[in-house]
Structure 1
């Protein structure tokens, strides 16, 4: 009896010690995340953050939506401030997304910091639970579980994607629990709440369809047609459909042609697609940055070597599957742009309007869970290899720290400099009219800056607006497009950036105030510009032949707190 009692005591002590160790590791990881996020809360508007698909678009959209009074607008409502009220309310997404309310309730940078914190903490918890329960179980691997989860949470994800990719490990944890028959209310709570902070088109359509394939493969392989698993997939899909009801309505019931109808993706030759495959596999993609080149890929290759050498295919089949899937996802991404799709895209229009290349958005989940398994395989090869595995993990975490926004965007304008609120307030006061009484457009800077500051614009960055408006706007810049093949293809075959493009500037729209350049030989159709309500052009550069374009320089604006010098031109 005494021996049994002592064994129970020892077992309890071991469990308590393991729990305390786990808690210390988790607290340390959360501290690291706090340090990583701290510049956003300390510097706020003086912080440097991503511009592309962030400052130049989403952050301004949230502010415009909150100010429009159309947060709960009808499905056929429009946003008056942008492109003469022809932009549908549905283009700004659902009011049931938490991120929309963060920007409605808090100042921009507080909302941005909170969004980053929510996403990264949930990403850490999700990956940790997935590894601990399903991929890397056992207290022996606590270091790898916590470390890989922290690394995953530090990846430089696309900010407005929220949990669209970084929430996948948590969703997979819940689905695997349900598939195994061990699902609880917690799993269904996860499947209910994630759609409130994720987008189906920016990640979860591809994840849920992958889960559907997973269910189907289970059935075909004789593991049974798991109705609990299928029901869970259908349940989360239904929640997304309810949350994203505006997207569903636009997809099913909007008959008017929109800018997506001219989107053309199948343009790469075979060898260019092969080259893009290698680039995506080794470097990743801007919207799902995994920063896996230096340390994760070598770890996965080392693990693959030992699997091949020791014939561990069956024992390590999960790693082999993830390793292979990672390659297949890069091939799929690149070859979605292969010109061989043209016959099918001509026959099935939805293949052009929906970006199926985004299956590669599964890669962060695949790469980091594969990384954890690779480190375990390496650690099992001996004491020195175990140390190597820990060093690879530590170096990956440290390397990800160097990808902090405050470091990599140091040469870009701060948020305050980008949106230049004081400068645009001066412009507004100089014009002296109510902003809804006139329309502006920009040259050399993003129209999102004007929109953020309350100006009504005829230019915009949106990928879902009437095709008729795109064609009308094209007449303004028709001669400039004719002089520059790059911007002509960019506008005609996509058109998401409905900008006043110029042949001289091309796709450069962040011309800072220290630029000495002048716009020469500009050819705009200002007659069409005026017909569309345009009255002022905010140019980042002086226009040498302004009079030829029926424009007159009204005033030049500059400010210490702005990255731009604005030449305000008025139509004659």
Structure 2
């Protein structure tokens, strides 16, 4: 079949224009852009800057980041120096790096899904619009920014693996398998993807299709590349003997019916780290398609779609029931089941959902002219819907990047204190510690899920009385502890209190003696502390700026 390359190029060019429009606010607005805060501004973006300035980019595997928690945060907690994203933030200003990362990820996502659909799932010029439309939609999904290609690179990797599995592998496939690990995380997607490929290989063997050593070796090859790139993670997992904060992470705590509810919620709405926005259009489309498959007995012809439909349900079920309390006997016996998040097999869902979406639209299109028109409208509406979920729209009520990090305001605070930042330690109340860290302050608080358990227990003494007053934050800190924050019973889990807040902290009870023992000298509070003296604190000065989201009440210890 001769493919109309002109039409193909026109549609690809149109898709890239749409992607460029989608990404344009990041490049145009830069620090005035609105982007995701959770697991982004409140953590990763600050971590990249801290790492770049720490002189620990190539630090030893037993090295530490001196700026955070008194140098007890392992260098390995900030990931590998062989990741492209780390170098983007080391070489460019924050928002330039962020914009480049978004563009790179989405372009690879588009072409990866297009190659996969065109070659393996939806071949044929007839389906060109569906191939490119589904690929564009996939590339517009609001993925977790620091995940990079951890999920959005899976279609490209699957395309390469299927080529090799079918005996059609070329240097391009091995190049893809080599490059992806440099811009993805094994624990945030590819451990689960590679183990799934292993299952596919084993299934082929059990069905009598032979050992297919080339396919098996390609899986091993990509795994080895990941291990080499993520050598810090591997070292920490195998050789770190000191207990860390993940050793007090307990996931199996949901009763049966709450697990069922979580299964339904995840299936219909997705998860914040792998958002697919599939509820309104993709779910109905796939159910319409499965109806036609069932009523017209198309199971053999549409076996790939049927498999993906079932796999999608299974992945949500697995995610939800990973938190079922019935796992407790096993987690007590096998501790790694708590420290490693096996629920993340659901990170396969973006690939599964959008591949099945394309196949569902094909099945619908085959039912007649009107059905075919409806299929095209569904894909157009999905793309429009995803466009409306642009960060600049969704997060318009959140602080801009400039307002969040408030560099001018914190420079003023630094100048007022008048000491070298490494000579004293601070903690924050009502704002994320990442803000202070981004601005060069040395903090005893942090957001990280891999730090010494002994530090967590020592830090807990500072907020012990506050935790006793509030069950929510007590459970949040004790059973997870990734946010090693100065929690207060009054504020609970609110740590983004803007400068227009009228709140006051009343009846605060901190153990300031422990705070000082840990090097703490100043507290950056987003609101005034009414009983500061009872906590051996003194208000030094209040800082406010037009370009900052926060008003900072600077307290120093007595």
> Shorter-chain TM-score: which interval?
over 0.9
User: Which residue number corresponds to residue 389 of structure 2?
Assistant: 403
User: Does 2:248 align with 1:265?
Assistant: no
Partner of 1:467: 453
Q: 1:503 and 1:268 mapped to 2: Cα distance?
A: 24
SS of the equivalent of 2:65 reads coil
Query: What whole-Å deviation, never above 9, does each CA across 1:532-557 have from its counterpart, x for those lacking one?
Result: 00000000000000000000000000
Write the mapping of 1:137-536 to structure 2, written as runs, cut at 5 A. 137-536=123-522
Q: How many Å apart are 1:523 and its aligned residue?
A: 0.2
1:566, distance to aligned residue in structure 2 (A): 0.3
State the superposition RMSD in angstroms: 0.6
Superposed displacement of residue 224, structure 1: 1.3
Q: Which residue of 1 aligns with 2:532?
A: 546
Supply the distance in 1 between the matched residues of 2:340 and 2:461 (Cα, whole angstroms): 27
Measure, in 2, the Cα distance between the counterparts of 1:301 and 1:261. 42
* 2:549 paired with 1:569: no
Counterpart of 2:35?
49
Q: How many equivalent pairs are there? A: 558
Residue 70 of structure 2 aligns with which residue? 84
Q: Aligned match of 2:120 in 125, 128, 134?
A: 134
Displacement of 1:222 in angstroms is 1.1
* Structure 1 residue 225 displacement after superposition: 1.3
Find the aligned partners of 1:484 and 1:228 in 2 and give their Cα distance. 57
TM-score in terms of structure 2 length: 1.00
Q: Which runs of 5+ in 2 are unaligned?
A: none
Match of 2:22 in 1: 36
Q: What secondary structure is seen at the aligned counterpart in 2 of 1:535?
A: strand
Alignment-derived partner of residue 6 in structure 1:
none
Structure 2 match to 1:8: none
2:53 is aligned with 1:67: yes
Task: Provide the rounded CA distance (Å) in 1 between the counterparts of 2:364 and 2:52.
Answer: 51
CA distance in 2, matches of 1:211, 1:517: 53
Deviations 1:473-521 (A, max 9, x none): 0000000000000000000000000000000000000000000010000
The counterpart of 1:115, out of the listed 101, 107, 110, is 101
1:259-293 deviations in whole A, cap 9, x for unaligned? 00000000000000000000000000000000000
> What is the Cα deviation at residue 348 of structure 1?
0.1
Deviations 1:61-103 (A, max 9, x none): 0000000000000001100000000000000000000000000
CA distance in 2: counterparts of 1:460 and 1:254, whole angstroms:
20
1:185-223 deviation line (CA, Å, top 9, x unaligned): 000000000000000000000000000001001100111
Q: Which runs of 4+ in 1 moved over 4 A?
A: none
